[in-house]
Structure 1
């Protein structure tokens, strides 16, 4: 089978197309014939590593997210899963041979989730990292809901920084499905249009408008939850608009690895600053997130494509390096590799 791997960290050109034997699933595992492989920032950051040229042994197949059909099951796995369309999450984490940038991937059965007939492979490969991250960000607020779904965020206001990004798009869609009022910030009218198509109620261009003033005009008591992509740049604004007992969920470090935390402005409302990384998130949260994202997909509440504010960019498997480059250069939209 065709697979992409890297045996040394570095630029996208370390990704190599190779031929590997088709793997067999072990106990508790399934083999998935991959249709689409989703590319996220976490994938190129892992490939780049902390120092270029560091050997990777055994060679790593990249990409955490994907979609396809269950092709074989291991001992102890229900045979009813055979030929079932599924979406995959954290395929490559601590599994060098498990990434989705290959024609067949073997993963633990708990890492596959049924994909409804109404959902495309494109959608399935776009769910894992963005939607699970968004779910975590939306459910860490003091006295907020543990689950998402219709009515769960009714009466609450969510601020999504960077609403045109993949996680921002996911957060907008999940928050609107849960009946929140959604405010988002963007850097251009074009991105504002995308955020609006995703479902944002209010779009603020932070290059042209006073973000804090605009938000306070919309919701004088402040926002309950902030989904933050750029804490170094936005910490002061976040502290200025957070509501009493609100939370700032930081899932990325765009703009810098360090931030200045406005202590007193955060202390007065008893605000929570919550840092989010999927791989070390609490085990108790994950089943709730998987169930809620699956329910949103089944309900038709999750959409992909330009009409949903998330343009899709497709690459063949032998152009995996170009796909990684596109994500690393912050292309607007979702990057997918067409595996089969």
Structure 2
């Protein structure tokens, strides 16, 4: 049997509609009918730059929600049943091709290590499909050793760790990733959470846990941040900027104590040393990856907790718009908007 899918045949060209086989689930895999495939800005980078594309053809969309149609063998898969709705992160190691697991098609496979049941969240399929990439990425950024390495909320280590006197700066807090960062920072117990975003986001970010807000359009952003934290900031997240534009996060870090900036985008490129300050103790700048398939030992830390946090309202679904059908022209328009820095998160209903 075959299905419709949007595929990338050549880097730098538009996605096209095609037919491809419906895959069969292997061990600890599920076959799902896609109900919501979430697009993110990195999907334009896959189409235009080849990001995450190990081979062609390629299918974008790593945020997935769907109805289980078949359950493969294995103890992990046995926890799921036909008819249940799940949300999942597509399997996407850097050096392998797993397009059977990607979202812009009618049917896809799900790796049960990277999935959970939507019924346990209290969310709709579309709301749940905002979680697997963005929220997982911020979980890694804050709690995995490649990021800030903070204790995971609710663990004994977290209970023994007091961050009430510590501050964290979140640059790009108005984005879906940034909003998740604010909520995770609140859960981690930071006493001061500075949200850097556009003014329309202030009220919502304060409600989510930000103790301070800095308008990203202000002429004295760094002065405002340093007025709040002095020279004591050790933790910062930048979820929106590429390397050369990451100077604000580093400049805000302490000049006398070693701080860390964690980013979701590459740290390549030279920084303007005159803008970041003396940094006498140095600083760390790290890019983290939210791809759970490449850190399988850490994936359960997220997937075994996130549904309960969603149900309790401690973590919120992201914002999105819905588009019906696998319309190549319309999906390419969405990716073009991401390319131009003007897009919002869009969920496709295949």
- Structure 1 segments unaligned to the other structure (5+ residues): 305-309
Determine helix, strand or coil for the equivalent of 1:86.
strand
1:177 aligns with 2:177: no
Residue in 2 that maps onto 1:137 = 141
1:96 aligns with 2:99: yes
Give, in whole Å, the separation in 2 of the partners of 1:26 and 1:55: 21
User: 2:323, 2:349 within 8 Å by CA — same for their partners in 1?
Assistant: yes
Residue in 1 that maps onto 2:32 = 32
Determine helix, strand or coil for the equivalent of 1:336.
strand
User: 1:39, 1:65 within 8 Å by CA — same for their partners in 2?
Assistant: yes
Give, in whole Å, the separation in 2 of the partners of 1:291 and 1:261: 42
User: 1:36, 1:66 within 8 Å by CA — same for their partners in 2?
Assistant: yes
Q: Note the C-alpha offset of 1:111.
A: 2.4
Q: When the two structures are superposed, what TM-score results if normalisation uses the length of structure 2?
A: 0.80
Give, in whole Å, the separation in 1 of the partners of 2:199 and 2:26: 50
Residue in 1 that maps onto 2:346 = 335
- Structure 2 segments unaligned to the other structure (5+ residues): none
The change in CA–CA distance for 1:335 and 1:173 in structure 2 (over 3 A counts) is farther
Q: Note the C-alpha offset of 1:247.
A: 1.6
Q: Note the C-alpha offset of 1:113.
A: 1.9
User: 2:167, 2:234 within 8 Å by CA — same for their partners in 1?
Assistant: yes
1:157 aligns with 2:138: no
Residue in 2 that maps onto 1:307 = none
Q: C-alpha root-mean-square deviation of aligned residues, in Å? A: 3.2
User: 1:212, 1:241 within 8 Å by CA — same for their partners in 2?
Assistant: no
Give, in whole Å, the separation in 1 of the partners of 2:174 and 2:87: 23
User: 1:161, 1:185 within 8 Å by CA — same for their partners in 2?
Assistant: yes
Point out the structure with the larger strand share. Answer: 1
User: 1:61, 1:99 within 8 Å by CA — same for their partners in 2?
Assistant: yes
Q: Note the C-alpha offset of 1:332.
A: 5.8
Residue in 2 that maps onto 1:201 = 211
Q: Which moved more, 1:23-32 or 1:79-88?
A: 79-88
The change in CA–CA distance for 1:144 and 1:257 in structure 2 (over 3 A counts) is closer
Q: Note the C-alpha offset of 1:183.
A: 0.6
Q: When the two structures are superposed, what TM-score results if normalisation uses the length of structure 1?
A: 0.82
User: 1:173, 1:302 within 8 Å by CA — same for their partners in 2?
Assistant: yes
The change in CA–CA distance for 1:147 and 1:75 in structure 2 (over 3 A counts) is same
Residue in 1 that maps onto 2:117 = 114
Q: Note the C-alpha offset of 1:75.
A: 2.0
1:126 aligns with 2:124: no
Residue in 2 that maps onto 1:146 = 151
Give, in whole Å, the separation in 2 of the partners of 1:289 and 1:153: 22
Aligned length: 325
Give, in whole Å, the separation in 2 of the partners of 1:326 and 1:84: 34
